[in-house]
C-alpha cells in the first residue's frame, strides 16, 4: 500500500511515488518514493490498523507523514503545486478509510498550523526596517504608491504622491497609456488593444511573440464572443452581454478575491435575467450621477423596467432602440452587487479618467449593452460578415502558430490555447459548451495582467508591485520563476495570483491581526490520510 500525492494525469495503475510528479510512502518497506522506482529509507512500515497521515505544507512546499499521530519527519521538499491525495492499493482485498478532516485527526494538525502562523507572524514582525524615524512610514507609502502605479490608478497615485511628498517613478502619461490598454483588454476589445500597444510600445510585441500570440488568441475568442471591435463594426446588432466589463479598470488587485468579485460582475452581465451595462452611461454622465443615484435607479428599474426607458432615452437617444428590445421584467440585480461592481468602478472611472479619456470612451461605449435570456447570444454578434472575418482571422492565427513553432520550437501551452479557442466553433451555442468558460470575461484578466507586466518590464519598471515582492520574498518556486521569466504564456497570471493573495493578506492583517489567507490555504489544501481497521483487512482512512 502506498500513500501520497500525484499531479493530474499520473498513471493511476501504479503506486504513488513511482512515476514522475508522484510521491508516496509505502507500507511494506517504510520507504519514501519521490518520483522514482527506488525508494529512500524514510519511516517505519505500516499495516492493518495503523492510521497514516499525510500533510502538505503549502508555505514551504514540503510534505511529512504521521503514523498513529506521531510525526515521521519531512519526506519530500520542493513539491510542485496542485497535487492530489493519492492512495495506491496493490494487494487484493485491501480496504482503506479516508479522513479529510470530517473526523478529528489523530495528529494534532491544529497545533502544527499554530506554529506556522506564529512563525510567519514573527517573520513579518521582524521584517528589517531602518531604525531611523519615519522609515516605516516611507516604506508603507512606497508600497501603496507602487501598487497604485502598477495597476494604473494614475489619478489616485498622483494625489497620493502629492500628499505624501513622493515622486511617482513612472510618468503619468505612461500610466494612462497602460490604463487605456488594460481597459481595452478588459472590455474584450483585443484588436484595439493590440493596435494601441503596437503604437505606444512599438517593439514590445515583436520581442514577445508568445505574448502577441496569446493576445491574438484572445482576440479570436472575443470575436466569437462578438465583442472585438473588428466584428463589432460588422455586426448588425450591438455586442452581447459578455462585454460586461466596465471600461474603467476594475481593481483586479486580488486574485484570491477575484473569483467572487468576478462572479458578481458576471451575474450582472449574464445572470438569470437581463442585465444592463452602465459603464457608458457613467461616462456620459461624467461623474454627475452619484453612486446613490445609481442605486435608486436600479431599484426603480427593478419595479418596472419600462418606466426607465424615457429616462435612459433622455440621456442617450442611441440606446433607446435596444432598451425597447428589452422585454423582460425578470431583472435580477442585487443592489449590493451593483454597488460592489459597477458602483465602485464608476467612482474609479470618475477619479482616474481624464476628460479626454472620457470622451474617447464615450465614442465606443455610448451604446448601452443589454442582454436578456430571451435573446440568444449569437456567434460574432450574429452577423455573417463578422463570422467570415472571424474565420479568416482564425486562419491567420493558425498560420501564426505554425510560424511560431518553426521559429521558437514547440510550445504545448500555445498549442493547447489555440486548440481550445478553435473548439468554440464546434458548438452551436459556444457559451454553454464545455469550452465556453473561455468566453467568460474573467479570462481577460490573466491576459491583461501579462500584457501590463510586459509593458512594465519593457519600461524597466517593477513587474510586480513592491508590496508583492518585499514582504516574504518568493513564496514558492513558481512565483520566483514568474518574477524572472518572460511574462508571456500566462506566467503573468501565476504572478498575479501570488501578488494578490499577499496583498489581500496584508490588508487582512491590518484589519483583524490574523492571517486569513494563510488559514485558507491550510483549509483548502491540507488533508490527512489515515488508516483504520476494518475486520482483518487493512483499512485506509483518508
By the criterion CB under 8 A, which residues form the site for another protein?
43-44, 67, 69-74, 108, 111-112, 114-115, 117-118
Neighbour-count burial of 124, counting CB atoms closer than 10 A to its CB (0-12 exposed, 13-18 middle, 19+ buried): middle
What are the two backbone dihedrals, phi and then psi, of residue 474, each rounded to the nearest 5 degrees? -65, 130
Which residues lie closer than 8 Å to 391 by C-beta, 6 or more apart?
Answer: none
Q: Compute the least distance from the CB of residue 105 to another protein, in Å.
A: 11
What are the two backbone dihedrals, phi and then psi, of residue 66, each rounded to the nearest 5 degrees? -130, 150
Sign for the CA dihedral angle at 239, 245, 249, 255 comes to negative
Q: Compute the least distance from the CB of residue 164 to another protein, in Å.
A: 36
Q: Compute the least distance from the CB of residue 521 to another protein, in Å.
A: 17
**Which residue, 67 or 189, is less far from another protein as judged by CB?**
67
Q: Compute the least distance from the CB of residue 393 to another protein, in Å.
A: 58
**Which residue, 71 or 478, is less far from another protein as judged by CB?**
71
Neighbour-count burial of 30, counting CB atoms closer than 10 A to its CB (0-12 exposed, 13-18 middle, 19+ buried): middle
Q: What is 281-308 written as a DSSP string?
A: HHHHHTT-S-HHHHHHHHHHHHH-TTTH
Neighbours of 480 (CB within 10 A): 14
Q: Give per-residue burial for 337-356: e unless 16+ CB within 10 Å, then b.
A: bbbbbbbbbbbbbbebbeee
Which residues lie closer than 8 Å to 524 by C-beta, 6 or more apart?
Answer: none
**Which residue, 112 or 153, is less far from another protein as judged by CB?**
112
Q: Compute the least distance from the CB of residue 108 to another protein, in Å.
A: 7
Q: Compute the least distance from the CB of residue 65 to another protein, in Å.
A: 10
Q: Compute the least distance from the CB of residue 67 to another protein, in Å.
A: 7
Say how far apart CA 38 and CA 73 lie, in whole Å: 19
Which residues lie closer than 8 Å to 162 by C-beta, 6 or more apart?
Answer: none
**Which residue, 125 or 407, is less far from another protein as judged by CB?**
125
Q: Helices (H) and strands (E) in the chain — how many of each?
A: 23, 10
Q: Compute the least distance from the CB of residue 292 to another protein, in Å.
A: 46
Q: Compute the least distance from the CB of residue 51 to another protein, in Å.
A: 12
**Which residue, 71 or 525, is less far from another protein as judged by CB?**
71
Which residues lie closer than 8 Å to 350 by C-beta, 6 or more apart?
Answer: 282, 286, 287
**Which residue, 66 or 483, is less far from another protein as judged by CB?**
66
Neighbour-count burial of 184, counting CB atoms closer than 10 A to its CB (0-12 exposed, 13-18 middle, 19+ buried): buried
**Which residue, 65 or 160, is less far from another protein as judged by CB?**
65
**Which residue, 42 or 503, is less far from another protein as judged by CB?**
42
Say how far apart CA 51 and CA 36 lie, in whole Å: 25
Neighbour-count burial of 216, counting CB atoms closer than 10 A to its CB (0-12 exposed, 13-18 middle, 19+ buried): buried
Q: Compute the least distance from the CB of residue 528 to another protein, in Å.
A: 15
> DSSP character for 339?
I
**Which residue, 61 or 383, is less far from another protein as judged by CB?**
61
In this structure, what C-alpha cell is assigned to residue 305? 423596467
Q: Compute the least distance from the CB of residue 115 to another protein, in Å.
A: 3
Q: What radius of gyration do the chain's Cα atoms show?
A: 27
**Which residue, 43 or 239, is less far from another protein as judged by CB?**
43
**Which residue, 71 or 470, is less far from another protein as judged by CB?**
71
Amino acid at each position: 500500500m502506498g500513500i501520497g500525492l500525484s499531479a493530474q494525469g499520473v498513471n493511476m495503475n501504479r503506486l504513488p511515488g513511482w512515476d514522475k510528479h508522484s510521491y508516496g510512502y509505502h507500507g511494506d518497506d517504510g520507504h519514501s518514493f519521490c518520483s522514482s522506482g527506488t525508494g529512500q529509507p524514510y519511516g517505519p512500515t505500516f499495516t492493518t490498523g495503523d492510521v497514516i497521515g499525510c500533510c502538505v505544507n503549502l508555505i514551504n512546499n514540503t510534505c511529512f507523514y504521521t503514523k498513529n499521530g506521531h510525526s515521521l519527519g519531512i519526506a519530500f521538499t520542493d513539491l510542485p503545486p496542485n497535487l492530489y491525495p493519492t492512495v495506491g492499493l496493490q494487494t487484493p482485498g485491501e480496504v482503506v478509510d479516508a479522513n479529510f478532516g470530517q473526523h478529528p485527526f489523530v495528529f494534532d494538525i491544529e497545533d502544527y498550523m499554530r506554529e506556522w502562523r506564529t512563525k510567519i507572524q514573527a517573520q513579518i514582525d521582524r521584517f528589517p526596517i531602518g531604525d531611523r524615524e519615519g522609515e516605516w512610514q516611507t516604506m508603507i507609502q512606497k508600497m501603496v504608491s507602487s501598487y497604485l502605479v502598477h495597476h494604473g490608478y494614475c489619478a489616485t497615485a498622483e494625489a497620493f504622491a502629492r500628499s505624501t511628498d513622493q515622486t511617482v517613478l513612472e510618468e503619468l502619461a505612461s500610466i494612462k497609456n497602460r490604463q487605456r490598454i488594460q481597459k481595452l483588454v478588459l472590455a474584450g476589445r483585443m484588436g484595439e488593444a493590440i493596435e494601441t500597444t503596437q503604437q505606444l510600445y512599438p517593439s514590445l510585441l515583436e520581442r514577445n511573440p508568445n505574448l502577441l500570440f496569446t493576445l491574438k488568441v484572445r482576440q479570436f475568442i472575443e470575436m466569437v464572443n462578438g465583442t472585438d471591435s473588428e466584428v463589432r463594426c460588422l455586426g448588425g446588432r450591438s455586442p452581447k452581454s459578455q462585454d460586461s466589463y466596465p471600461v474603467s479598470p476594475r481593481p483586479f488587485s486580488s486574485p484570491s478575491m477575484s473569483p467572487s468579485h468576478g462572479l458578481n460582475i458576471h451575474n450582472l452581465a449574464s445572470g438569470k435575467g437581463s442585465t444592463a451595462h452602465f459603464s457608458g452611461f457613467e461616462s456620459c454622465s461624467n461623474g454627475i450621477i452619484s453612486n446613490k443615484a445609481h442605486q435608486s435607479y436600479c431599484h426603480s428599474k427593478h419595479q418596472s423596467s419600462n418606466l426607465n426607458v424615457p429616462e435612459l432615452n433622455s440621456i442617450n437617444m442611441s440606446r433607446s432602440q435596444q432598451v425597447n428590445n428589452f422585454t423582460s421584467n425578470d431583472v435580477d440585480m442585487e443592489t449590493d452587487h451593483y454597488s460592489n461592481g459597477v458602483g465602485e468602478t464608476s467612482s474609479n472611472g470618475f477619479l482616474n479618467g481624464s476628460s479626454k479619456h472620457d470622451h474617447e470612451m464615450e465614442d465606443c461605449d455610448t451604446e448601452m449593452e443589454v442582454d436578456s435570456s430571451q435573446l440568444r447570444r449569437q456567434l460574432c454578434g450574429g452577423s455573417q460578415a463578422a463570422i467570415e472575418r472571424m474565420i479568416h482571422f482564425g486562419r491567420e492565427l493558425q498560420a501564426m502558430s505554425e510560424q511560431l513553432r518553426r521559429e521558437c520550437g514547440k510550445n504545448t501551452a500555445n498549442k493547447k490555447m489555440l486548440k481550445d479557442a478553435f473548439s468554440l466553433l464546434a458548438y452551436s451555442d459556444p457559451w454553454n459548451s464545455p469550452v465556453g468558460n473561455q468566453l467568460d470575461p474573467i479570462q481577460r484578466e490573466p491576459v491583461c495582467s501579462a500584457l501590463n507586466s510586459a509593458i512594465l518590464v519593457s519600461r524597466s519598471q517593477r513587474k510586480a508591485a513592491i508590496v508583492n515582492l518585499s514582504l516574504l520574498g518568493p513564496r514558492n518556486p513558481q512565483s520566483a520563476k514568474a518574477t524572472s521569466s518572460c511574462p508571456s504564456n500566462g506566467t503573468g497570471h501565476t504572478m498575479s495570483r501570488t501578488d494578490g493573495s499577499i496583498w489581500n493578506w496584508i490588508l487582512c492583517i491590518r484589519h483583524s491581526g490574523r492571517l486569513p489567507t494563510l488559514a485558507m490555504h491550510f483549509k483548502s489544501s491540507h488533508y490527512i490520510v489515515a488508516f483504520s481497521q476494518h475486520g482483518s483487512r487493512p483499512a485506509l482512512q483518508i
